[in-house]
Amino acid sequence: MYTAEGVLVGWLQPSGARVTAGDPILLIETEKATQEVVAPADGILHQAARIGERLTEQEVVGFILADGEVPPLFEGELVAATGQPLVPRPVTQRRRPPAEQAGQQPSERPPGGVIATPAARKLARTANIDLTRLTGSGPGGRIVEADVEAAISSAAAPAAAPARGWSPLIPATVSPEAQAFLATFPEPAAKPPSPAADDIAGWARAHAGNEAEVRRLNADIEALYKPQLVQTHLGGVPVLDIRPQNWSESRRILVYVHGGAYVLHSAASSLTSSVPVADDTGLRICAVDYTCAPAAGYREVVGQVAAVLTALRAAGHDWADIALFGDSAGAAIACGAILKLRDEGLGLPAAAVLWSPWADIAEIGDSYATLRDADLVFRYEQHLKSAALAYAPATEHRHPWVSPVYADYRAGFPPTLIQGGTKEIFLSNGVRLYQALDTAGQTAKLDLYEGMPHVFQAFNPDLPESKLARQKMKAFLNQYLSGGH
């Protein structure tokens, strides 16, 4: 039996086992993937290579022989039980592991001390996870991607709530469904603090842990709404093309910019925001998979969203066909991209919808103080301050592309719907942004919801308040997008 170039990471059948042609018998880890090698014929398996050996292409790793045949120890004849010589394929001289060359007991572990799939190794490098501390659940104890995801989730798990206990204020003025929903929130102060602004590895772990944590939730949304999801690129930027069930061909499109404090989430892990909106509005959504901070700063991120909008224009969409939608940090990025296009004289989209916009990246505004202990999601100093600094230096926190409350809107801006809740520290952000737009003579609507937390529409899309907010969003978009009614 011969193999591709790579590391032998596991035998799936023991030496001496009877196998049938096509049975998987070993795993080879190449640079791109882990490959199964199957038995080329019926017979008895005789292993000729050890786990952890790095093999060259077309190197012999074992033999499938008939009963009574014995494998050759060196190059030469293979002698059958009948005594008649059989001529095997040429056997190349295998490179032995250093321990074996020195006469020591050969290791059953590959270089690096672990057996892991390429996907697991890549994720571990990204999240700075030590593979030697993990136990593999794959064949032969191989570490697979799920093992690394479990380690990330464990490392990112929030600490237990303080013994004093915590119970959020649940107003009687919200729906019964919302009351039950609000009661499920753990104390924000019990969540672990965010990494330092310049902790690249720490943010990578946080991002990977968050992706793993919300994967099931997003899978449930996909299963419920059954949208068509296609990964593609626009303007050189990765995007997720989302088309709802029964979508009718239309030039109208909604560009979505996900939240996550500039450092978390992706287009694929934000389906609880984008997919229900696509379903309710019937619009095709283009979710921008921008590069999260600190891997990219605000100028690059805003530029990526602007590049997607420019690419849609080049593809034949009029500005009247395009609207923007963002939540939290994504709402601020969406505003920054619109301002960039406006400042460069490229035009304006038809409308913008902003959920709980992080419109002032610094801790400035009344509700940052008055709602500090009421916010159900985070504490600024503990969870947001370092994220803000990872996205933009403090000296640029009042740049309009970073904090859109400081923009001059007299030069123009699309009709804008701002939605938020009265139980979030970003309440002042929405109020101040509305006032900036309205004072400048732009069309703006501030739509606030009693007792609702930050981005409640995505936290629980089934709440009566969430459904009402999306219906108002649909009406707003239909009013300003081309072909609306």
The residues that are catalytic are 328, 424, 454
Q: Is residue 444 within a helix (H) or strand (E), and if so which, with residue range?
A: strand 444-449
Contact 359, 434 (CB under 8 A): no
Per-residue buried b or exposed e for 251-266, using 16+ beta carbons within 10 Å of the residue's own CB: bbbbbbbbbbbbbbbb
- Distance from C-alpha of 170 to C-alpha of 402, rounded to nearest angstrom: 33
Beta bridge mates, 323:
254, 351
Whether the Cβ atoms of residue 470 and residue 280 lie closer than 8 Å to each other? yes
Q: Which amino acid is at 83?
A: G
**Beta-carbon count within 10 A of 404 CB:** 29
Q: How is the beta sheet containing 43-47 ordered, strand by strand?
A: 18-19, 43-47, 62-65
DSSP-derived secondary structure letter, 2 = E
Residues 267 and 289 sit within 8 Å (Cβ to Cβ): yes
The whole-angstrom separation of Cα 419 and Cα 446 is 6
Closest CA to 478 of 415, 433, 431: 415
Tokens of 241: 């093309």
Cβ atoms within 10 Å, residue 134: 18
Give the Cα separation of 61 and 11 in Å (integer).
10
Token pair 């096509």 is found at 22
Parallel, antiparallel, or unpaired for β 78-79 and 18-19?
Answer: unpaired
C-alpha–C-alpha distance, residues 392 and 395, integer Å: 8
Q: Answer for the pair 263, 203: CB distance below 8 angstroms, yes or no.
A: yes
What distance in Å separates the CA atoms of residue 356 and residue 423, rounded to the nearest whole number? 11
| Other beta carbons within 10 Å of 58 | 12
Contact (CB, 8 A) for 311 and 377: no
Place of tokens 């499109």: 253
Tell me which residue of 286, 440, 425, 290 sits closest to 363, measured CA to CA: 425
The structure tokens listed for 106 are: 């050969």
Q: Any idea which residue has 């093999």 for tokens?
A: 55
